[in-house]
Structure 1
Amino acid sequence: MRYLILLYVLPGMPAILSAQSQLTGTVTEANGSPLPYANVRILAVKDSSLVAGSVSEVDGSFRFDRIAADDYLLSITSVGFRAYLQKIRVPRDEGLIVPPIVLMEGEDELAEVVVAAQKPLYEKQMDRMVINVQESITAAGSSVLEVLSRSPGVMVNQQQNSIALNGREGVMVMINNTLSRIPMGSLMQMLEGMSAANVEKIELISQPPSNLDAEGAGGIIHIVTKESTDFGTNGTFGLSAGAKRAEVYGANLSLAHRGKSFSVFAEYAYLHTHNVLLWRNAFRSESLSGLLKSFQSDTDRAILSQSHQFRVGIQKTFDKTSEIGAYINLTQNNNSMRGKGGTILQVGDSLVRADILYHESRDISNQSSHIHYSFQLRDKHTFRIDYDWVTLQLDNLSTYDNAAYFAEQSEAIQFDLESYAPMNFHIAALDYQFQPAEGINLKAGAKRSWMDFDNSIKSTYDENGVGELDSILAGSAHVQEIVSAAYISSDWKAGNKLAFKVGVRYEHTLTDIENGNEKGDINRNYANLFPSLLIEKNLHENTAMALGYYRRITRPSLGNLVPVVLLINQNTQFDGNAALLPSLIDTYKLELTYKRASVALEHSYTENAIALFQPSYDPKNELVTYSPQNLRYLQSTGLLFSAPWIIAANWDLQSSVQLNRRSFETAHLPVNQRNAVFDLNLNLSNTFLLGNGYTAEVGGNFQSRRNWGLLIFRPIGSLNIGLQKKLAGENGSIRLGIVDLLNTNNNLVDTEFREPPLHIHIDFYLRNRTLMLSYSRSFGNKKLKAVKVESASEEDRKRMDVK
């Protein structure tokens, strides 16, 4: 019942001024065409603080229904157009119809006005959902992984190092237009150490276009870091402090200088997180003879994480037709875990008890560098060359002290695991863009990536003081992979009624894995075509319909292919699967939008779907092993509804509801199982403008019972509240937030086998209830000028998943 609390908000708020009027208008381009999705903001004359905000409709119109009679600044901005700023007066009762506003192409400057406007938290676009992180009060002081876990349609499983989008696994993560290639486990740790203070927005791309990598059946999560668009020298800094089960604090600083032809920026962020997690797992089985077997384990894990991030970049524009840009990104994550656990195994009247002490140290060093050069020929032809070099060093040292007690005997066993994983990636891309006529945009390109990776695990086994190398837990592998790709795509806008996005992508993959043990080498050589189609038609002034189809692939992560055993306790372990096959997914989508609300019906069929961490049971040794497996098929049908609700001039509600039905059949069990599960995902966010610089936020998410292959997750949810105060002048803002107020955002998992009869339970209590106080402030020049330094080498991938 407590999960449903987030469905309700405070029923009343302070009344706004009684003298209210209506403000309406339209925004067009210079040729008279309507300009949809322009940011329209009403600002206070005194300090340019936000009074109300919206975006223009498909026909370019905008409307504010409850505006107090007063003088305001009307600000209208849109990417690629000069900003508009005009003082207006809204009369009492009569309302105001603003004459048509024309935005001109190009760049402009606002010399003296600081625009402190607010974007909507969620923005629905043609092929993606955009989350404007900086507009969330409860995101202050949070990590990027925590923000993701509260995002619409996103399911983060920290227990299994996996992320799902709209009910589908195999999600790629892209940071600043570069797909991440580092192991998913390492990536999850990096996102957990990445401060949301330096993130501008997160894009949930459900139907990636053909110029992006076809990897990832679930789509792409694109994380865009903050980058100042102000002309001159400026920057921001912030401080945060709070607590989970232990202390949490961080700091961030960014500096930028932008001229007419040259720009440079640098940013640094530090995040310290200390928390105590609780892991419980148990299983119960019954043999044909009726003998009952049961196992249970409890472990408290104190985790200390410290993260440093540094990024510096430059851009030089030589003339209107050519530019060069580059950046370097350095990330250092240090994680230390200490824990104590106990286990009990009972077989009939026999009882075995064990105590385990854990000590794990994991260090991740990630460096990436990027350079690009772009130029134009004959105005309509644009070429861009990108090169990226990424290195990663993963060091993991673990010690497990086991003390087992049975009957009148006891034994002590110690395992020491040392894991090392140096990785190198080189990615080169060439993109071409041609605009033969207005409304037609053709793209083509090619890329190639080279990857080299070593993984080695050494294990020392010490029983009652006698030490020897344990070959069962040891392993090594050398991996080489080459991925070649080419694509062609076209965007065509036929007037104001019809738009097309069509493309096809070809990818060829060579993977060679040399195993340093008896489990054998792996050689893969395969190629695929990936078509995509998206058609959008405006049915009415405010109504549009979109129809889409696309094919994508999920390749086995190289860490899942390398079969190296990892021990959780004496009755639970994780293993790889060298026989894992790539999976192909075909998805069909129909979407209807009315103004900024949308409802979508989506159906997908996945062949050889990869389900991570599927359990199997060895009744002879009472051992549960988790390993990735191919499902025979996975079929998913979902209905997604998203809408903003302007309850009042000072109350904005953003909502997202998703209902899925997923059916699948296993392919790896002695007696395979079929199953079908319905699940519901709900996200709500209420923003209240309280006046005098105060803003409040109340929101949360709810995820019903859902499946991940054989794993069945019990319902979870979170309730989040926050308060922000913008200080007078340029003194910054203070935010106070409480995330997961009811402490309900946990991973609770059940699995049941029919043959042999087996019930498995896993409870992973994340203990994410967080109280956080933060302060941020901007300084320097505030003249607006749009300049960006970004990477277009979108083909980096995160297929590495080293355990």
Structure 2
Amino acid sequence: MKKLFLFLLITNYAFGQISGKVQNIKNEPIAFANVILYSAKDSSIVAGTTTNELGVFALNFTQTGDFFTKTSFIGYENYVSKVFNISNISKIIELETIYLKDENNTLEEVTISAKRELIQTTPIGKIINIQSSLLTKGSNALQVFERLPGVITDRRNNQFSLNGQNGVTVLFNGRKVQMPIEEIMALLENTVADNIEKIELITSPTAQYDADGGAGIINIIFKSNETLGTKINFSATAGYGFREKAVTTIGVAKGYKKLNLNTSYSFNHDVRKSGYEGDGTAGISFMLGETFNTFYGITRRYQNTHNLNFAAQYQPNPKTTLGVDFVGAFDKSQNLVNNGGTYQPKNGEYFEIMMLSDGLTTKQNNISSAYLKQNFSPKTQFNVDLTYINYTNNSPATITSEYFDKQKQPIKPQFSIFTFGNRGESVSKIHVGVFKTDLSTQFSEKINADFGIKMSYAKNENDSKVERKVNDSWEIDPRSQSQLKSQEQIAAAYSQVKLLLNAKTNLLLGLRYEYWKRNFSNQEDPFEISKFFPSILYTYAINQNTSINFNYSRRISRPAYTDLISNLFYTDPTFVFSGNPLLKPTLSDMLKVEYSRNGLSVGISAQYDLNPILRYQITSNATEDMGISSPQNLDYMKSLNLFITYPLQITKWWKFTLNSLTSLRDYKVSYSQFPTEKRYLFQNLNISQQINLPKNFEIELSGWYNFPYFEGPNKIKAFGVANVGIGKKLKNDNGTFLLTLPDVFRSFSVYSHNGGMTPIAFDINTISNWRDETVFYRVIKLTYSRSFGGNIKRTTNSFGDEEKSRVGN
């Protein structure tokens, strides 16, 4: 026992330790910053490490003498400490908090600004500094999403996937946007990208994040003010495709010594066209027998959107920060949709249907938040956050229908379901309140811990119906009427401990508990689930530029209430769209290892999803006399994934970045006619290139490509998009012009083969092609942007400054 005690004593005091914390000037921790210990004698490197998620670091040393530290992180100025002496190798030294300033200095009339790397890799995912991309100007947030590495934006099915996995949670400034995914997509489409600072792709979330989102989390960070005085940003975009496009944005930031104000307003006018067409057979159509069908749908949308962002942050003292922020969007759009097709039964009959849907949609989204950040000491921080989400959607529409024979002569179909007109309305309301509090503390030089609780309450209402015109009068179609209300409560608590095992190794252990309850007015029994969600993150820094991470996490993807409600709507009298009240949440387990070196990142992960959700899957009703498109659960999906991010500086003026995902997938589907298993290989490539030319010209080329893949019982052909941006910075800071050509090869076409993997309801076997506006028309945009005002950085009092003022110089 004495020998063991002596061994532990020698082990613990065989080296000394230097610890500290790294923050930016807004008192926010900087994770994964490099901290290097140098010998003052010859500037040789003695030791090095990176900060953890709290910005905390620890360096071990085994020699005495004079030393200094250098701290660096991309996009910030380097910090070099004063020389200090170490006379005892067993000494524990705690440095004052290190504050890094943004890398943006003014010298006389020349402005020197260093762009942050477009993509930065962290142990929990990637940071995309979208303002480093030319193509951000004149884009909306949804278009930016389409260019993010590993993100697939499926406009056909109104959903996102991350690294090939469905079930993505979207955050605004770290706060979950608790709305249906199609409404989140609409909100992103109405959000001007120039208001966004960066986007975090969190593919290995820790316990402090919501467990929702089996594929991971996309966190949108909006711009904030960091300067004294007044700064104005202005941007105007004019474009043309199917019809005119225009975006105008103005942002005003006002900085005082203790108060930051930041507001921006944007207006977006867009007239666009998209559509699909296809053909195929239905072997046992409910009334017509075996039938060959053609079908199409062409949408013209006339859209006007007002978007307002506001943020205020007040720092009465160096330890306290109070803030409020608001994101609001008001959208009004007219949607004219031409639907139609032909029915050709095997018995030789034929008729054609032509429909025009005229809909006027009004949407309003408001997300309001208030927060408090309190630093009790350099080692302990406390946060409180209150968020309220208010969403309304009113979407009345009128459908007129005409029927023709082969000679294009008007006819009256013999089946009553084929009416000459429909009109419908759908009013949805969502109210969500969220309370969240977190406590971070440092117990010792080697142990940090986080604790937190979260509670949310949501009320959802939907009132919809479709009327059909029968003998010149209107009657409610009983299949479509829905007056549904639901309530949702979520309670969560988490704790996680960060252990500094040595100067190069960190271990994070987390456990999150979540209780979820949902009530529907049309169901007697509520749905409840209560589970623990563990997470483990092991980080080993081989040197200041190289690290390896191991991660395990369990996640859940809850179905949106719009995927559960059973109201029906249709644009084809023989086919309806519906929710699925029997839909189950998805449970995901993922194990991942990732190697990073100088921007290169290579990762391998294994993921198991139980009951993954796919949207718009074709089934039949109980009497098998109508086709239904609704969300469905796969039985399971197993994935083995390889991720690669490879930045290459080809020349001083040409930088190339490749992001690749290769995934071997194995899944089972039982909602098709026959339970079937499938294994296939999925491949996604995402490429960006930045080329700097003389006379302040810059070119950016970006693109992505999906190889063929399967979506439940359906097969999707390969497709991809390439984008081009050409920018010119004017002299004397007179602004920047940017010319963008989205989808330069006009290739955004998605071919789907329904029933291409296994037979589905009614033996439907059809091929359809959905095309974006850029396929129909060449889209071109020209943007001018300029900033006015000072860029004097605020000098923020730190704990170190406060302590120095007490003892003098």
Scaled to the shorter chain, the TM-score interval is 0.7 to 0.9
Cα distance in 1 between the residues matched to 2:427 and 2:524 = 20
Cα distance in 1 between the residues matched to 2:625 and 2:752 = 19
Structure 2 residue aligned with 1:106: 99
Query: Is the Cα–Cα contact under 8 Å of residues 190 and 329 in structure 2 kept in the other structure?
Result: no
Under a length normalisation based on structure 1, what TM-score does the superposition of the two structures give? 0.83
Cα distance in 1 between the residues matched to 2:657 and 2:795 = 28
Structure 2 residue aligned with 1:780: 789
- Taking only the aligned residue pairs, the percentage that are identical comes to 23
Cα deviations by residue, 1:483-534 (Å, 9 ceiling, x for unpaired): 000000122333432122221100001110103xxxx445112101000111
The question of 1:270 aligning with 2:277 is answered: no
Cα distance in 1 between the residues matched to 2:382 and 2:577 = 47
Structure 2 residue aligned with 1:754: 759
Give the SS at the match of 1:230: coil
- Deviation of 1:143 after TM superposition, in Å, equals 1.5
- Deviation of 1:439 after TM superposition, in Å, equals 4.9
Residues 235 and 494 from structure 1, CA distance in 2 versus in 1: closer, same or farther, beyond 3 angstroms? farther
- Deviation of 1:233 after TM superposition, in Å, equals 1.7
Residues 79 and 721 from structure 1, CA distance in 2 versus in 1: closer, same or farther, beyond 3 angstroms? closer
Query: Is the Cα–Cα contact under 8 Å of residues 560 and 577 in structure 1 kept in the other structure?
Result: yes
Cα distance in 2 between the residues matched to 1:104 and 1:659 = 42
Cα deviations by residue, 1:377-400 (Å, 9 ceiling, x for unpaired): 344222111111111111111111
Structure 2 residue aligned with 1:64: none
The aligned amino acid for 1:216 is G
Structure 1 residue aligned with 2:329: 331
Query: Is the Cα–Cα contact under 8 Å of residues 107 and 786 in structure 1 kept in the other structure?
Result: no
Select the residue among 434, 437, 440 that pairs with 1:430.
437
Tell me which structure has the larger Cα radius of gyration.
Answer: 2
Trace 1:178-327 onto structure 2 (pairs within 5 A).
178-286=175-283, 292-327=290-325
Query: Is the Cα–Cα contact under 8 Å of residues 504 and 532 in structure 1 kept in the other structure?
Result: yes
The question of 1:489 aligning with 2:496 is answered: yes
Trace 1:19-418 onto structure 2 (pairs within 5 A).
28=36, 34=48, 78=73, 105-106=98-99, 110=105, 112=107, 114-286=111-283, 292-348=290-346, 349-405=348-404, 409-410=411-412, 412-418=419-425
The question of 1:766 aligning with 2:772 is answered: yes
The question of 1:531 aligning with 2:534 is answered: yes
Structure 2 residue aligned with 1:43: none
Query: Is the Cα–Cα contact under 8 Å of residues 310 and 329 in structure 1 kept in the other structure?
Result: yes
- Deviation of 1:276 after TM superposition, in Å, equals 1.1
Query: Is the Cα–Cα contact under 8 Å of residues 345 and 352 in structure 1 kept in the other structure?
Result: yes
Cα deviations by residue, 1:445-490 (Å, 9 ceiling, x for unpaired): 0010011111110222112412212221111111111100000012
Give the SS at the match of 1:724: strand
Give the SS at the match of 1:478: strand
Query: Is the Cα–Cα contact under 8 Å of residues 522 and 578 in structure 1 kept in the other structure?
Result: no
Structure 1 residue aligned with 2:666: 663
Cα distance in 2 between the residues matched to 1:521 and 1:761 = 41
Residues 84 and 151 from structure 1, CA distance in 2 versus in 1: closer, same or farther, beyond 3 angstroms? same
- Deviation of 1:758 after TM superposition, in Å, equals 3.1
The question of 1:700 aligning with 2:703 is answered: yes
Trace 1:657-736 onto structure 2 (pairs within 5 A).
657-736=660-739
Structure 1 residue aligned with 2:469: 462
Cα distance in 2 between the residues matched to 1:596 and 1:490 = 28
Cα distance in 1 between the residues matched to 2:795 and 2:232 = 15
Give the SS at the match of 1:729: helix
Structure 1 residue aligned with 2:507: 500
Residues 84 and 379 from structure 1, CA distance in 2 versus in 1: closer, same or farther, beyond 3 angstroms? closer
Structure 1 residue aligned with 2:636: 633
Structure 2 residue aligned with 1:72: none
Query: Is the Cα–Cα contact under 8 Å of residues 80 and 105 in structure 1 kept in the other structure?
Result: no
Residues 287 and 423 from structure 1, CA distance in 2 versus in 1: closer, same or farther, beyond 3 angstroms? closer
Cα distance in 1 between the residues matched to 2:71 and 2:423 = 61
The question of 1:555 aligning with 2:558 is answered: yes
Cα distance in 1 between the residues matched to 2:280 and 2:189 = 30
- Deviation of 1:565 after TM superposition, in Å, equals 0.9
Query: Is the Cα–Cα contact under 8 Å of residues 97 and 378 in structure 2 kept in the other structure?
Result: no
The aligned amino acid for 2:300 is A
- Deviation of 1:417 after TM superposition, in Å, equals 0.9
Cα distance in 2 between the residues matched to 1:593 and 1:587 = 19
Residues 734 and 618 from structure 1, CA distance in 2 versus in 1: closer, same or farther, beyond 3 angstroms? same
Give the SS at the match of 1:115: strand
Under a length normalisation based on structure 2, what TM-score does the superposition of the two structures give? 0.83
Cα distance in 2 between the residues matched to 1:135 and 1:111 = 19
- Deviation of 1:287 after TM superposition, in Å, equals 5.3
The aligned amino acid for 2:132 is E
The aligned amino acid for 1:410 is K
Query: Is the Cα–Cα contact under 8 Å of residues 121 and 654 in structure 1 kept in the other structure?
Result: no
Structure 2 residue aligned with 1:644: 647
Cα distance in 2 between the residues matched to 1:382 and 1:620 = 60
The aligned amino acid for 1:428 is F
- Deviation of 1:283 after TM superposition, in Å, equals 3.4
Cα deviations by residue, 1:569-609 (Å, 9 ceiling, x for unpaired): 12332111111111211111111222210111111111122
Cα distance in 1 between the residues matched to 2:284 and 2:327 = 56
The question of 1:744 aligning with 2:747 is answered: yes
Residues 304 and 521 from structure 1, CA distance in 2 versus in 1: closer, same or farther, beyond 3 angstroms? farther
Query: Is the Cα–Cα contact under 8 Å of residues 440 and 451 in structure 2 kept in the other structure?
Result: yes
Query: Is the Cα–Cα contact under 8 Å of residues 153 and 167 in structure 1 kept in the other structure?
Result: yes
Ranked by relative contact order (alpha carbons within 8 Å, sequence separation 6 or more), the top structure is 1
Give the SS at the match of 2:228: strand
Residues 544 and 629 from structure 1, CA distance in 2 versus in 1: closer, same or farther, beyond 3 angstroms? same
The aligned amino acid for 1:749 is S
- Deviation of 1:166 after TM superposition, in Å, equals 0.5
- Deviation of 1:749 after TM superposition, in Å, equals 1.2
Query: Is the Cα–Cα contact under 8 Å of residues 193 and 305 in structure 1 kept in the other structure?
Result: no
The aligned amino acid for 2:676 is Q
Cα distance in 1 between the residues matched to 2:561 and 2:37 = 50
- Deviation of 1:360 after TM superposition, in Å, equals 1.4
The aligned amino acid for 1:405 is F
Which stretch shows the higher mean deviation, 416-425 or 763-772? 763-772
- Deviation of 1:211 after TM superposition, in Å, equals 0.9
Residues 786 and 186 from structure 1, CA distance in 2 versus in 1: closer, same or farther, beyond 3 angstroms? farther
- Deviation of 1:667 after TM superposition, in Å, equals 2.4
The aligned amino acid for 2:759 is R
The aligned amino acid for 1:106 is Y
Cα distance in 1 between the residues matched to 2:773 and 2:399 = 24
Cα distance in 1 between the residues matched to 2:740 and 2:51 = 30
The aligned amino acid for 2:612 is A
- Deviation of 1:760 after TM superposition, in Å, equals 2.4
Cα distance in 2 between the residues matched to 1:37 and 1:294 = 63
Which stretch shows the higher mean deviation, 643-652 or 314-323? 314-323
Cα distance in 2 between the residues matched to 1:384 and 1:129 = 24
Query: Is the Cα–Cα contact under 8 Å of residues 297 and 342 in structure 1 kept in the other structure?
Result: yes
Give the SS at the match of 1:106: strand
- Deviation of 1:767 after TM superposition, in Å, equals 2.1
Residues 742 and 500 from structure 1, CA distance in 2 versus in 1: closer, same or farther, beyond 3 angstroms? same
